[in-house]
Chains A and B, each alone.
Chain A
Amino acid sequence: MSLLIFLPFITAIFLFIVKMPINAVKSIYVVSTLCVASMAIYLYVHFDPNASMQFIENHSWISQYGINYSIGVDGVSLGIVMMNALLMPLIAIGLYKQRDKKGYWIHLLFVQGGIMGAALSLDLMLFYLFWEVMLLPIFFMIGLYGYGKSNFVAIKFNIYTIFGSLMMLVAILYLAVSYKEQFGFYSFALDDLKNLKLTTIESLLVFSGFMMAFAIKIPIFPFHTWLSDTYRSAPTGIVIVMSSLMAKLGAYAIWRFLFTLFDKTSHQLAPYFIGIGLFGLIFFGISAMNQTHLKRMFALSSASHLSLIVVGFFVYDIYGLVGSSYLIISHALSSAALFLMLAMMYERVQTYTIDTLGGIAKVAPVFALFFAFFALSIVGVPLTSGFVAEVLIILGAFEYNIYIGFLAATTVLIAMLFMFKMISAVLYGDTNERTKNFQDLRAHELMALIPLALLILAMGIFPNYFIKNIEPTAKTFASNKEVSHHE
C-alpha cells in the first residue's frame, strides 16, 4: 500500500530528472495516476467495512523518538484516499490539451503523494511530514503558474498555513513528551497517544493547537481570508486539489485526530464549533452572493459547505459523522468537476467574470448540461450525492438540538442564493461576441467529466452501497459519545 504514496513521488522525480517532450510527460502522469487509481479501487474492493483499521504497514523510522512509518486505512480515510486517487488522473484527462508545463504535472504528482500519505498515516510525525510536504508543490504551482499577483498570494498562503501547522507541531510534541512522562518512552503512534491522561487545560491547549492547523486548512470562519485570493490566482489543478482534497483533508483530520485523541474535549467544545460552523455556512453563502469572479464564488461556496461538514462532525452522532464524510466525498466530486469545467471555459473565453459570459447553453448545450448538473449537485438536489449528505447532516443537527437543526437546514437555501443567478448569467441569455463561437466539450473532456457525473448520480441514488463502508467506524465513535456523555 506504500506504493499508493510513493509511486507518485517516484514518478515525479523520474519526470524531473529525465528530459522528454511534454506529451510524454502528460501520458506518463496519466499512466501513473491511473495505476494509483486502480490500486485504490483494489483497496476499496477488498476493504472490509467491519474491521476497524486495515492494510496496516509499520516500520521504525526514528527509533529513539519512537517515530514510525505506520500507515493504514479505515472507514474514515477511505473516502479521501479514493477521491485523491480518482480525481488526479481526471484532471490530466480533462486538461489534456492545456497546461504544457512539465513542472505543473510534477508538482501535481507531489501533491498527490503528500495527500495520500497524510490521509493514510497513523503516526503523528509522519502525518505532519506529509501535511507540510504537501504545501510546497502548492506554493510552487501558485507562484509559477498562477494568475494575478500570485507571488504575494503564494507566500501569504504559505505563511498562513504553516503558522497553523507549527502550532500543531508543538501540540504533537507536547503529546509525545507527556506520553513519555507517563509511559516512560516516546511514541507518536495514534493508538498509543489515545491512552494519554491530560489535565483539562492541557488537552484544551493541545486541542486548539491541532484545531488551528485544521481550521486554517479547511478554512472555518475567522481563518478564511487566504481563501478567495488564493483560489483566484491559483492554477486549476491546485484549485481542484485545494477545494476537493486539501480542505477535505483538514476536515478529515478533525475526525481522525481530534476525535480520537481528545474525545471529551471535543465534546466540551462541540457547541462552539457548531456555532462557528453554522455561522460560516451562512456567512460564506451570503458572501458568495454577489461575487463576479467565478472562482471566488466557488471558493466561498465550498467554504460554506465545508463549514457544514464541520457542523456535521461536531454534532458527533452517527448521522452527522456519516453525513459529513459523505459530503466530503460528494462535494469533492462536484467541486472538482466544476473547477475543471471552469478551466475548460477559461481556455475558450479567457475570462472568469460572470458579467462577460452568457448564452453558452445556446452554442454548447452539452457543456451547459454538465455545468448545470454539477452546479445543481452542489446545491444538493435529490438524486445527487449532495442531497443524501445534507439530509443526514441536517438530521444529525436536529437530533443535537432543534434550533441547530433549523440553522443547518438553511443549507438548502444558502447555496441557491448564488448558484441559480450564476447559472442564468453564464449559461442562459443570448450569446455575446466572447461566447458566440464557444466550442462544445471535446471527447477527452467528456471522458473526464462523465465518470464524475455518473459517480455523483450513483452516490445519490444508491447511497447505501457507499455508506456501509463508513458506517461501522462512525458507529464506534458515536458510541464513544454515549459513553463520554454518561461519564
Chain B
Amino acid sequence: MSTLTILLFAPLLSAFLIFLITVLYSQTKQYVYTFLALMGSGLSALLALYVSYYSYFEKQVLVTHLFTWLNIGDFLIEVTLKADALSSFMLLFVAPVSFLIHVYATGYMNNDKSYGRFFAYFNLFVFFMLLLVLADNPIVMFIGWEGVGLVSYALIGFYYEDVKNTYAGNKAFIVNRVGDFGFLSALMLLFLSIPLGGFSFDNIFLGLWLIDSHRLTLIAFLLFVGAMGKSAQIPLFVWLPDAMAGPTPVSALIHAATMVTAGVYMVARFAPLYNMTPDILLLIAYVGAFSALFAAIIATRQYDIKKILAYSTMSQLGFMFMALGVGAYSTALFHMFTHAFFKALLFMAAGAIIVAYHHKQDIRELRGIRASGLFILMLIATLTITAIPPFSAFFSKDAIMSALYAGHIEIFAIAFVTSLLTAFYMFRMLFVLFFSKSEQRGQPTRKSMLYPMTPLTVLCIFAGLLNVPEIFSGNLSVSHWLHLADQSFFVPHTQEMLLMSLNTFFTLAVIVYTYKKYAYTDAIEFEKSDGMIANKFYIDALYTKTVVTVLEKLSYFFDKKISQLLIDGTINSMALVYLKVGNLFARAENGNVRFYALYMLIGLVSGFVYLYWSLRSFL
C-alpha cells in the first residue's frame, strides 16, 4: 500500500461504506456518515499535503503501479499513479479544499433526508478527481475525467423530486460528453500517431515530434474541445449556470474549485503538445478571452447569487485559458490555485446566507441582510476576486495581465475590461446584499459551516505569497517548482508596475462607482430583467432551436417515416400484393372443368411448339 494508493482509495472506500450503509440500513445515525465522510476526505487531504510537500522540497516523483488495465496489440494501458510536480500541485489544493467543503457540507446538509447519499457521491467525486489528477496516462485520466462528470450529474440532480434539477444534470452531462467526444477522439488519434507503444504521458511527449503538424493541430484542437466542455468555455458553457441547481457545497466544490478547472489542468498537462501548435494556443487564448468577457457581461444582469458566482467562475476560467493561450501555463495554474480558495469561500458564504435566509437566492429579496461575520468573509473574498493588492488573486491575475500584455495586446484589452466588469458585478452583489436601508435577520450560521471558511479566508489573503514575482523581490517559487514548458516573455519592471497601478486604480474607481449606484439605493429594482444580457444573449434558446428541436424532428422522421412508412410499408405491401395476385389467380381456378381441359391443352400445345422450335432443323 503506497501513499498514493491510500490517498486515492480512502475516499472511494468511505464512499462505498456509506453507500452500503444507506442501502442496507436506512435508520443510520447521521454522525456515522459524517465520521466516514470526513475520514475519507481528511485522510486524503493529509496525504496530499504530505505528497506535495515531498515533491516541493525533495523534488521527487512518487510513482505507484497498480495493475494492467488493457493490453491488446500495442494498446498497453497501465493503471499507474504518478505524483509529479504538476499533480502534486493540484493535490495541494484539491484535496484540502475538498476536505474543508466536506466539513462545511456536514453543516449545510444537516438533517437532510438523503444525507448519506450526498456524502457517498461527494467522496466518490473526490476519488475520481484524484484519479484524474494522479493518472499518468491519458486513458486513465479520461476515466477520472468522465467519472467526475458523472458524479456532478448525480449531484446536480440531487434533489430529484423536482425533475427540472435532473434535467439540469442531464444537460451538464450531455454537454460534457460532447467535450469528451473531442477528448476521446483526440486520444485515439494521438495513440495511432505516436509510433512507439505504451501510452503514458512521457511516451507521448517523447513521440510528439514524429507527428506531422496538421494531425497534431487536429489533436490539440480536439483536446481543447474536451477542455471547453469541462471548463464551461464558449460554446459549451451552457450547462454551468444550470448546474447551480445542486446543493451549494456541490457548486462550491465541483463547479468552482475543482472539476471545472480540470480543463485547465489538462491543457497544462499537454503543454509540450500545445507548444508545438501555436495557432491552437491562440485559439485557446481568444476563446478564453471571449468567454471571460461574455460571462462578465451576463453576470452584471443576474440576480441569483449562485448564478452570479457561476458566471464569475466561467469568467475566471476564461482568464486561465487566456494565460494558457499565451503559453503562461504555470501562471494559469497559479490563478487556478488562488481561484479555488476565493471561489470556494464565496460559494460557502453564499451558501451560508442561503441557509440563514431560508433558501432565498435572489439578491433582490435578500437585500439588506445583517450578518457581520459573513459580510467580512464575503468582502475579503470579493476583494480577492477583484484582485486588489495584497490579496492572493492580485498576484496571480497580475501575472496573467503582464503575460497578456507582453503577448497579445488585444487580448490584454479584453482581459482588462473583463476585470473591471468583475469588480462591478461582484461589488454590485455585495452592496445590494449588505448595504441597504431595508433590514432583515436570519438564523445564525452553524459553526460547522463557519469553521471551514476561516482557513480559506486566510488562504485567500496569503496564498499569493507562494508565487511572488521578482518585481516584489519574490522568486516565483511555484512556477519554478512546476517548471512547465512555459513560454518566456519579458515585461520591463516599470511597465509592469504601471500596469498594476492602473489596474488597481481603475478597479477601485469601478468599486466606488458601484457603491454610488447600488449602496442604499433601489437601483437594482429599476434594472429591467429582460433583454439581451439578462437572457444570456439567447444562447440557450439558440441551442434549443438548432440542436434539440432538429434532433426531435429527425427522430420522428426516422422512426415514423423511414422505418415504419417506407421500409415496413414496402414489405407489408409486398405481402399484400402477393395476396392480391393470389386471389386473381384463384379466379382462373374457377371450378369449370372445360377450362381445366383448356389449360391442359394450352400446356400441350406450348410443349409441342417448343419441341417444334427446338427440333425444326430436323424437320
Chain A residues with CB under 8 Å of chain B are 222, 224-225, 228, 283, 286-291, 300, 318-319, 322, 358-359, 361-362, 365-366, 369, 376, 381-383, 387-388, 391-392, 394-395, 398-399, 402, 405-406, 409-410, 412-413, 416-417, 420-421, 423-425, 427-430, 462-464, 467-468, 471, 475, 478
Contact = CB atoms under 8 A, between A and B. Distances in A.
Contacts of B265: none
Contact of A319 (B73, B551, B552): B73
B556 interface: yes
Given A224-B563, A464-B71, 14 more contacts: A225-B563, A225-B567, A286-B555, A289-B551, A318-B72, A362-B161, A365-B23, A381-B150, A412-B181, A413-B174, A416-B173, A424-B157, A424-B160, A471-B72
Contacts of B173: 416, 420
Contacts of A425: 163
Contacts of B162: 429-430
Interface stretch (B186-194, B237-245, B528-536): B186-194
Contacts of A358: 163
B558 interface: yes
B170 A464 contact: no
B192 A399 contact: yes
B178 interface: yes
Given A359-B161, A416-B173, A429-B163, A391 B72 contact: no
Contacts of A387: 143, 146
B75 interface: yes
Contacts of B178: 413
Given A290-B555, A417-B551, A412 B73 contact: no
5 contacts: A383-B147, A395-B188, A395-B192, A412-B180, A424-B157
A394 B184 contact: yes
B72 A392 contact: yes
Nearest to B144: A382
B54 to A, nearest CB: 29
Contact of B166 (A392, A394, A395, A428): A428
B216 to A, nearest CB: 13
Contacts of B174: 413, 416, 420
A286 B184 contact: no
Interface stretch (B45-53, B62-70, B273-281, B417-425): B62-70
Interface of B: 23, 67-73, 75, 139, 142-143, 146-147, 150, 157, 160-163, 166-167, 169-170, 173-174, 177-178, 180-181, 184-185, 188-189, 191-192, 551-552, 554-556, 558-559, 562-564, 567-568, 571
A467 B72 contact: yes
A412 B176 CA distance: 11
A286 B75 contact: no
A430 B163 CA distance: 8
Nearest to B554: A286
A471 B71 CA distance: 9
Contacts of B192: 395, 398-399
A381 B568 CA distance: 34
Contacts of B146: 381-382, 387
A429 B163 CA distance: 4
A291 B564 CA distance: 13
B166 A424 contact: yes
A319 B71 CA distance: 11
Given A286-B554, A428-B166, A462-B67, A398 B189 contact: yes
A463 B70 contact: yes
Contacts, number: 139
A355 B72 CA distance: 44
B558 A283 contact: yes
A224 B23 CA distance: 41
Nearest to A382: B143
A318 B75 CA distance: 10
Contacts of A366: 23
A287 B551 CA distance: 9
Contacts of B177: 412-413, 416
Contact of A290 (B67, B163, B556): B556
Contact of A382 (B68, B75, B147, B170): B147
A399 B169 CA distance: 34
Contacts of A427: 160
Dominant secondary structure of chain B at its interface with chain A: helix
B276 to A, nearest CB: 19
Contacts of A478: 73
Contacts of B170: 420-421, 424
Contact of A287 (B70, B143, B147, B563): B563
Contacts of A376: 150
Contacts of B169: 420, 424
Nearest to B153: A420
A388 B70 contact: yes
A274 B157 CA distance: 38
A288 B560 CA distance: 11
A394 B67 CA distance: 23
Contacts of A318: 72-73
A369 B150 CA distance: 14
Contacts of A365: 23
Contacts of A228: 563
Which 3 pairs, one residue from A and one from B, show the smallest C-beta to C-beta distance? Answer: A289-B555, A428-B160, A225-B568
A197 B161 CA distance: 66
A225 B564 contact: yes
A72 to B, nearest CB: 24
A366 B75 CA distance: 37
A421 B170 CA distance: 7
Given A225-B564, A413-B177, A417-B551, A464 B70 contact: yes
Contact of B72 (A222, A322, A369): A322
Which of A359, A427, A464, A475 has most chain B Cβ within 10 Å?
A: A464
B576 to A, nearest CB: 13
Which of B71, B142, B185, B568 has most chain A Cβ within 10 Å?
A: B185
Contacts of A225: 563-564, 567-568, 571
A130 B292 CA distance: 65
Given A391-B184, A395-B188, A464 B568 contact: no
B26 to A, nearest CB: 9
Contacts of B562: 283
A319 B72 contact: yes
B150 A428 contact: no
Contacts of A463: 69-70
A394 B551 CA distance: 23
B217 to A, nearest CB: 13
A406 B167 CA distance: 27
Nearest to A323: B72
B330 to A, nearest CB: 29
A362 B162 CA distance: 11
A228 B562 CA distance: 14
B336 to A, nearest CB: 24
B551 A424 contact: no
A395 B191 contact: yes
Nearest to B171: A420
A467 B564 contact: no
Contact of B163 (A398, A406, A424): A424
Contacts of A224: 563, 567
B428 to A, nearest CB: 35
A387 B139 CA distance: 11
A428 B69 contact: no
Nearest to A224: B563
Nearest to B76: A464
Nearest to A359: B161
A130 B23 CA distance: 44
B181 A409 contact: yes
A361 B174 CA distance: 21
Contacts of A468: 71
Contacts of B189: 398, 402, 405
Nearest to B79: A461
Contacts of A383: 143, 147
A370 B562 CA distance: 34
Nearest to B159: A428
